């Protein structure tokens, strides 16, 4: 009686006063659908927060929740789930989540649907199955993954959404005052340039703070090496996503051309993408994003990384808190995990959307105890689903 009886998908939309990564720069006007393009990374963002949630229910009435990335065109993902995946998940055992993932992957593999929206849909289903699998036996996801290796997950403060460099440096200092020692800034909103940004942050935070730079895939390999070299005298913890995501050799070239560790991986969905980069020593830090990978691929990527001596520092992006909970559950169970991104501007907004239990304070996350993901959507969140 533990087989899946029903799979449903939903779109969550939560208005925002200020867009993700901070206010709009000149020329960044939202269109009628609420999308705008950040000029410096040519990437589309919505003015609101959005994600896609999946609810599975077993024959015995146990419910599991999953979530994936849904900030743009979320109906593409819900259509894949509703039209295609749901009927292949009904009748399966939640405890077979990894096998179900591989079976669903195989359905579209030879047609080249090995990433993007298709894998996002798989990620949401996968998280919901792992959640249900835990709830069926009264165990947390980390117990299903082999047990808890750490009570706390070191968290770095990511995104300093203030309009000027002086205010961003001051804002970082506020977080330092709350017990955080690690930070990352985003190049597309470093209006005075990345060297000025790290210089001002270093001055504000002192020599012990760790400061990373997210370069948002905008550079050629030579430019990236030059840019990172210019930041290095200011003490750069790691440089993230320096070149175009497709440029595997270029990423390796950057990694060999600088002293700073290179991080990447937030846009990858599977071990196939990870292996291409790992095999050419292109990264020292891997940053899997649970909203894109699901628990199955997240743990596979992390284990592959650990075998190769690559550090694991998961990414955190816009969601309700459900896939963040999944990321933290996996993060306490994985060897080689050294930290986790903390997007305070998203985390604080999740308050009220998921049940209490996850904390991030004094530089570290602490997870919620309880079966499955340890948290679940509140009535407030459920009332917002469409």
> Which residue, 65 or 217, has its beta carbon nearer to Mg ion?
217
Q: Which of 49, 67, 131, 214 binds Mg ion (CB under 5 A)?
A: 214
Quick one: three-class SS letters along the chain? CCCEEEEEEEEEEECCCCCCCCCCCCCCCCCCCCEEEECCCCEEEECCEEEEEEEEEECCCCEEEEEEECCCCHHHHHHHHHHHHHHHHCCCCHHHHHHHHHHHHHHHHHHCCCCHHHHHHHHHHHHHHHHHHHHHHCCEHHHHCCCCCCCCEEEEEECCCCCCHHHHHHHHHHHHHCCCCEEEEEHHHCCCCHHHHHHHHHHHHCCCCEEEEECCCCECHHHHHHHHHHHHHHCCCCEECCECCCCHHHHHHHHHHCCCCEEECCCCCCHHHHHHHHCCCCCCEECCCHHHHHHHHHHHHHHHHHHCCCEECCCCCCCCCHHHHHHHHHHHHCCCECCEEECHHHHHHHECCECCCCEEECCEEECCCCCECCCCECHHHHHHEC
Closest residue by Cα to residue 333 from 354, 306, 355:
306
Smallest separation, CB 12 to Mg ion (Å) = 22
Smallest separation, CB 104 to Mg ion (Å) = 27
Regarding 341 and contact with Mg ion (CB under 5 A), the answer is: no
Smallest separation, CB 340 to Mg ion (Å) = 13
Footprint of Mg ion on residues 216-235 (CB under 5 A)? Answer: none
What distance in Å separates the CA atoms of residue 228 and residue 218, rounded to the nearest whole number?
13
Smallest separation, CB 20 to Mg ion (Å) = 12
Smallest separation, CB 13 to Mg ion (Å) = 23
Choices 50-58, 209-217, 294-302, 348-356 (CB under 5 A): range interacting with Mg ion: 209-217
Choices 5-13, 52-60, 211-219, 316-324 (CB under 5 A): range interacting with Mg ion: 211-219
> Which residue, 7 or 316, has its beta carbon nearer to Mg ion?
316
Smallest separation, CB 208 to Mg ion (Å) = 24
> Which residue, 120 or 214, has its beta carbon nearer to Mg ion?
214
- Rg of the chain (C-alpha set): 20
Choices 77-85, 102-110, 172-180, 207-215 (CB under 5 A): range interacting with Mg ion: 207-215
> Which residue, 19 or 372, has its beta carbon nearer to Mg ion?
19
Choices 2-10, 54-62, 210-218, 317-325 (CB under 5 A): range interacting with Mg ion: 210-218
Smallest separation, CB 31 to Mg ion (Å) = 24
Q: How many residues touch Mg ion (CB under 5 A)?
A: 1
> Which residue, 214 or 376, has its beta carbon nearer to Mg ion?
214
> Which residue, 131 or 240, has its beta carbon nearer to Mg ion?
240
> Which residue, 21 or 364, has its beta carbon nearer to Mg ion?
21
Per the CB < 8 A criterion, the answer to whether 312 and 266 are in contact is no
> Which residue, 213 or 258, has its beta carbon nearer to Mg ion?
213
Footprint of Mg ion on residues 101-130 (CB under 5 A)? Answer: none
Per the CB < 8 A criterion, the answer to whether 267 and 115 are in contact is no
Smallest separation, CB 356 to Mg ion (Å) = 28
> Which residue, 65 or 237, has its beta carbon nearer to Mg ion?
237
Smallest separation, CB 343 to Mg ion (Å) = 10
Q: Which residues bind Mg ion (CB under 5 A)?
A: 214
């Amino acid at each position: 009686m533990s087989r899946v009886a029903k799979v449903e998908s939903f779109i969550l939309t939560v208005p925002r006063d200020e867009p993700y990564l901070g206010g709009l720069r000149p020329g960044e006007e939202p269109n009628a659908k609420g999308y705008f393009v950040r000029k410096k990374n040519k990437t589309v963002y919505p003015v609101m927060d959005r994600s896609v949630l999946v609810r599975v229910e077993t024959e015995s009435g146990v419910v599991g929740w999953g979530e994936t990335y849904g900030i743009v065109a979320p109906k593409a993902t819900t259509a894949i789930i509703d039209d295609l995946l749901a009927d292949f998940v009904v009748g399966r055992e939640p405890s077979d989540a990894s096998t179900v993932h591989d079976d669903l992957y195989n359905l579209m593999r030879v047609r080249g649907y090995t990433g993007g929206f298709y894998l996002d849909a798989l990620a949401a289903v996968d998280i919901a199955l792992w959640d249900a699998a835990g709830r069926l036996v009264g165990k947390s996801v980390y117990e299903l993954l082999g047990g808890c290796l750490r009570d706390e997950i070191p968290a770095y403060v990511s995104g300093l959404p203030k309009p000027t460099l002086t205010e961003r440096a001051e804002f970082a200092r506020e977080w330092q005052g709350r017990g955080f020692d690690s930070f990352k800034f985003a190049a597309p909103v470093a209006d005075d340039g990345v060297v000025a940004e790290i210089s001002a942050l270093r001055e504000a935070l002192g020599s012990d703070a760790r400061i990373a730079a997210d370069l948002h895939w905008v550079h050629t390999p030579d430019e990236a090496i030059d840019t990172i070299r210019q930041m290095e005298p200011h003490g750069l913890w790691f440089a993230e996503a320096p070149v175009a995501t497709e440029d595997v050799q270029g990423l390796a070239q950057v990694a060999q051309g600088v002293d700073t560790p290179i991080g990447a991986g937030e846009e990858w969905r599977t071990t196939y993408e990870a292996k291409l980069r790992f095999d050419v020593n292109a990264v020292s830090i891997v940053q899997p994003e649970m909203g894109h990978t699901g628990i199955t691929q997240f743990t596979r990527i992390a284990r592959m990384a650990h075998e190769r001596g690559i550090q694991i520092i998961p990414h955190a992006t816009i969601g309700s808190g459900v896939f963040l909970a999944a990321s933290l559950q996996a993060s306490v169970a994985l060897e080689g995990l050294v930290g986790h991104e903390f997007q305070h501007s998203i985390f604080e907004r999740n308050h009220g959307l998921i049940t209490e239990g996850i904390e991030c304070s004094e530089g570290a996350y602490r997870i919620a105890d309880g079966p499955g993901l340890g948290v679940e959507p509140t009535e407030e969140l459920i009332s917002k689903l469409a």
